[in-house]
Structure 1
Amino acid sequence: MRALDAVAVRQWADACVRSLDANREDIDRINVFPVPDGDTGTNLLQTMRSALDDLLRTPADENVGTALAALARGALAGARGNSGVILSQVLRGLAEAAQGASTAGGSSLRRALLRADVLATAAVSAPVPGTVLTVLHAAAEAARDCGSDDLGEVVTAAAGAGAVALADTPRQLAVLARAGVVDAGGRGLVVLLDALADVVTGRVPEPTVPNPAVLNPTGPNPAGPNPTGPNPVGAVPATVPRDALTTAREAGSAEYEYEVMYLLDGDPDAELLKVSLGALGDCVSVVGDGAGLWTVHVHCNDVGAAIEAGIAVGRPHRITVSRFADQIAAAAPRFVRDRAIVVLVDGPGAAELFRSEGAAVLEPGDGVTAADLLAVIVGTRARQVTVLPGDPAWREPLDEAVAQAVAAGQDVVVVPTFSPVQALAALAVHSPTRRAGDDVVAMAEAAAATRRGEVAVSGREAITWVGRCEPGDLLGMLDGEVVLIAPGGEDVGDLACRLVDRMLASGGELVTVLLGRGAPDGLELVLEDHLRVTHPEVELAAYQGGQADALVVVGVE
């Protein structure tokens, strides 16, 4: 093949997925750096599958640059782990070098690998010799120094140099030498380079990964003795104990238990985000596809703070949190308390009221995202979290945030509350000394036993159960349905008293009132005087809520 075209790119991407699938278990098994989490092969495969999926969904185009750009975009969106992030930058480098070109020959591949080397290195906060970056750098230099512009010769030189550099990684990283393995990410890159050579030359290349145990016959064997015979590439020698994969590491810290990844849109301050994440953990990368999509990666303990750092510069989405299964016992604890209550409520007064009762509070304001909710939930650092939402409109992002938190090992339960007064009733019966399950049941029963009502101003013309309302009319609502309508010029206090009477018709001992931002002065006194006459046995508790969407929110227990 004299030049890569769009068809060849698709063939190469498909070959990469098949080859990574065949080598996945071997690559996972030798994964000991920067974290011995045994998932580099899996991450590379999933990232490459995402890249291929995006390419296959892209309309057919003869432009090789377009095909490579689709690969890079899909890899970034679906990147998994450090290795996936680096792979996305390798593909981005190839795409940028071939931008606008219909085909890519040997000289184009040379430029592409050099650009990929620059981008991948920039993606890693603290590059270390003996990793996939070392392998990529060797491949790029070999392509640069190749004396021919023939595509086959350039790609063969790059693949061969990458394989040699891979075999040398145990001499550069002691953790690899102790385990008797080569770098897992580097092994994956060599698989991809070999697949490219296979597509370009049209033949299956000879195995090009030398055995690291026999590279230096005149000196010490970095992999240790292996009396049973040659060491298969990437295999753990029989003489190396299995717990060698969890020995101390010279880069990356074993104290960090979680891997956090998410996407950002737009133009975030990448350097500021790197600094913020660097203060929380290691293995930090903030990289983009050059077209407004960014992926963020960090190993840390404080998952909430890592997500909040993203919120400070953009809108995190597609958030994934993974826990390293082989975390050592000495690691900093994730949970510092057994239980916490999280409340979603609008209005500064209401928020302060819940905070005074010990709850963690999120004020959604004009909108709430799953990222916002997840940051608050994991930020409690509690093993078991009970969430009290004050509005059913927040259900969809809340479900997404809860799913993410539960997947990361936190026990999260949502108690159905459709109003802040129901959340108050639930919080009032919360007892940290009660069994967690029993406590959730008690809160759910208290919320369900609280009737909810509110007085609000109609924003539009509508047909209700009790007739037509016009913009500006006062609406009295009970359990989400309009039950009273008054013209806009009517007294808010009178309508509120009528609503309370209706709510107390079926009984009640306590009326709780949250006064909204637009509530008239003295409304609580009007209600107090009214109840003193009509329901002297009922207690009134009134608070400044400050909510914008209702003049007054009422709860009856």
Structure 2
Amino acid sequence: MPQTLDAAAVRAWCSLALEALGREREEIDAINVYPVADGDTGTNLYLTVESAAQAVEAVFAAHETGSSTPAPADVIRAMAHGALIGARGNSGTILAQLLRGMAEQIGDGDHLAGALRRAAGLAREAVAHPVEGTILSVAGAAADAAESAPGSLADTARASYAGARTALDATPGQLAVLDRAGVVDAGGRGLLVVLGALVEAVSGEAPVAPPLAHVRREPAALAAEPCADGGPAFEVIYLLEADDAAVARLRTRLDGFGDSLVVVGGDGLWNVHVHVDDAGAAVEAGVEAGRPYRIRITHFDSGAAVTREQVQRAVVVVVPGEGLAGLCAEAGATTVLARPGEPPASGELVEAIRRAHAREVVLLPNSAELRHTAAAAAEQARTEGVRVALIPTRAAVQGIAALAVHEPDRRFDEDVVAMTAAAGATRYAELAVAERQSWTSAGVCQAGDVLGLIDGDVAVIGTDVARTAETVLNRMLAAGGELVTLVLGEDVPDEVAERLESYVRDGHLAVDTMVYRGGHQSTPLLIGVE
């Protein structure tokens, strides 16, 4: 049993919290009446922790090739950063700030009680107008209880959980809207789940507690429960790159636009959350402060992202570069950009499905690593009444092939079958540059070598992009083909494309070639053969 919050304990905590929120998500959604009865607090907390978990796993993955293990401070900082960039909703944004506060103290060698105290204080500072009876009250009570607990880590964690649970049960007496609905605060309930996962991570035993004193009503009754009369119409969330002075001015400006203002983060990166009537003004304020991105706007009347009139069918596709994003958008698809080293979380895919605003959606993840993420997003969208078909495309060229045969006027099942067949008939390859010496299925490569991967396995080791691509094409076309698709990264010169087109034309007269610019992507060249 760990006596300090080591790297393994932080990893276990994050994993257990994600698992527990997955079990409790629907119940937490059902009791969500404050600040807006939009029934998504549990889902938002789950998506926030999912992003945190991905960041934690990335830290451990970086150490897999050696014998070292990550430092606890690095792991919890990754957890906090992942939560920051993936924060959803009011409670998710506050949870991200709580984790940031813990990371600051643990990174400086402080004990758990001190970390919880810093977390509670930092979260309260991030909220423009703190309200008692919310997640802030529960966080403060958890810190109070932890500071009065015995010295062991497990006892401190148990005490914080017990203090949070007592505070959660008291929230209806602090906030009238909760009392009228007969429920505890949903955000506080989610924080209790996260603290319970911490207890299990450091003690090996999940906390057992009697049911909460307040019995929730049926979800339909909660949906009709009034909240803030005449409240703002939109929720606006975005990440913002800006300095401290600009963010201070932004806080003041947004505070005059609406309510539920929460700005969390630091060191140049912030997550901004606010409820407003003028969503455009809130975004423009962010542009004046710095560089806003990952902008999400939700209309509270519909609970869905603001978008065009609903259509019958849409395609949502994940692409590795801006060039392909433009190409797929021109074809009518809703795109999600997978930046190098930063794969999209399921929450981003769910948001894209909502943004497509269609009754039927075909989802193309274009990556084997996104299979589980895409499946989770599809399942979430189905619970919201959208018919979703997930085609397990493993590369962008397979997605292009599927999109090329998409016909929205066909029956849904027929369209999905045709797109699946087109993707499956497309063999794919990519070129990558080796970062270090390592063993591959094609032999030993050195740092700087160009690797040709066919269907995910290293098949060719070369010294330059053009020659390696020719060898890859020769092997792929040996099995036949009618169309070669080349997607070039932004640093690959046009001469390479011309050389490869000529190579295909001279050696395979009946094979056509299509060339696209992928923009800034993680690999210099993608190849598809149909």
Is residue 2:201 matched to residue 1:264? no
Distance 1:3 1:276 in 2: 42
CA apart distance, 1:405: 13
What is the deviation of 1:203? 1.4
Shift of 1:100: 5.1
- The yes-or-no answer on 1:300 pairing with 2:301 is no
Quote the Cα distance in structure 2 between the aligned partners of 1:243 and 1:323. 21
What is the aligned partner in structure 1 of residue 209 from structure 2? 207
Q: Distance in 2 between matches of 1:399 and 1:204?
A: 42
Q: 5 Å matches for 1:350-499?
A: 407=355
* Corresponding position of 1:62: 70
Please list the CA deviations of residues 280-330 of structure 1 after superposition, one character each: whole Å capped at 9, or x if unmatched: 211111211x33211111111211111000001101111111122468xxx
Displacement of 1:208 after TM fit?
5.2
Distance in 2, Cα, partners of 1:255 & 1:198: 39
Match of 1:245 among 216, 223, 235: 223
Per-residue deviation, 1:257: 1.6
> Could you list the runs of 5+ residues in structure 1 that have no partner in the other structure?
102-106, 213-230, 328-333, 339-369, 371-390, 411-461, 464-557
Distance in structure 1 (CA, Å) of the matches to 2:119 and 2:354: 37
Percent identity at matched positions? 42
Say if 1:157 and 1:257 are closer, same or farther in 2 by CA, change over 3 A. Answer: same
Change (3 A) 1:264 1:400: farther
Corresponding position of 1:353:
none
Q: Distance in 2 between matches of 1:169 and 1:256?
A: 24
1:83 maps to 91
- Which residue does the alignment assign to 1:443? none
Do the aligned partners of residues 71 and 32 (structure 1) sit closer, same or farther apart at CA in structure 2, a change above 3 Å counting?
Answer: same
Aligned partner of 2:199 in structure 1 is 197
Distance change in 2, residues 1:109/1:137 (3 Å): same
Give yes or no for contact 1:7–1:62 (8 Å, CA) kept in 2.
Answer: no
Partner of 2:35: 34
Aligned to 1:136, which of 122, 135, 139?
Answer: 139
Contact 2:126 2:262 in 1 (8 A): yes
Partners of 2:106 and 2:19 lie apart in 1 by 24
Following TM superposition, by how much is the alpha carbon of 1:271 offset from its aligned partner in structure 2, in angstroms?
A: 2.0
RMSD value, Cα: 3.2
Q: Contact between 2:240 and 2:293, CA under 8 Å: does it hold in 1? A: yes
Letter in 2 for 1:301: D
CA distance in 2, matches of 1:409, 1:310: 26
**Contact 1:164–1:209 (CA<8 Å) still a contact in 2?**
no
Amino acid of the residue matched to residue 83 of structure 2? A
Larger radius of gyration, structure 1 or 2? 1
1:89 Cα deviation from its structure 2 partner: 0.6
Please name the residue that 2:255 is paired with. Answer: 278
Structure 2 regions of 5+ residues with no counterpart?
A: 64-68, 310-321, 337-350, 359-493, 496-530
Residue 246 of structure 1: CA displacement?
3.1
Whole-Å separation in 2 of the counterparts to 1:151 and 1:314: 41
Residue 130 of structure 2 corresponds to which residue in structure 1? 127
1:7 and 1:206 mapped to 2: Cα distance? 23
Query: Separation in 2 of the partners of 1:208 and 1:311?
Result: 48
CA contact 1:163–1:209 (8 Å) conserved in 2: no
Amino acid at match of 2:166: V
The residue number in structure 2 matching 1:451 is none
Specify the alignment match of 2:49 in structure 1: 48
Give the TM-score of the pair, scaled to structure 2.
Answer: 0.55
Residue 107 of structure 2 aligns to a residue in which SS?
A: coil
**Equivalent residues, number:** 317
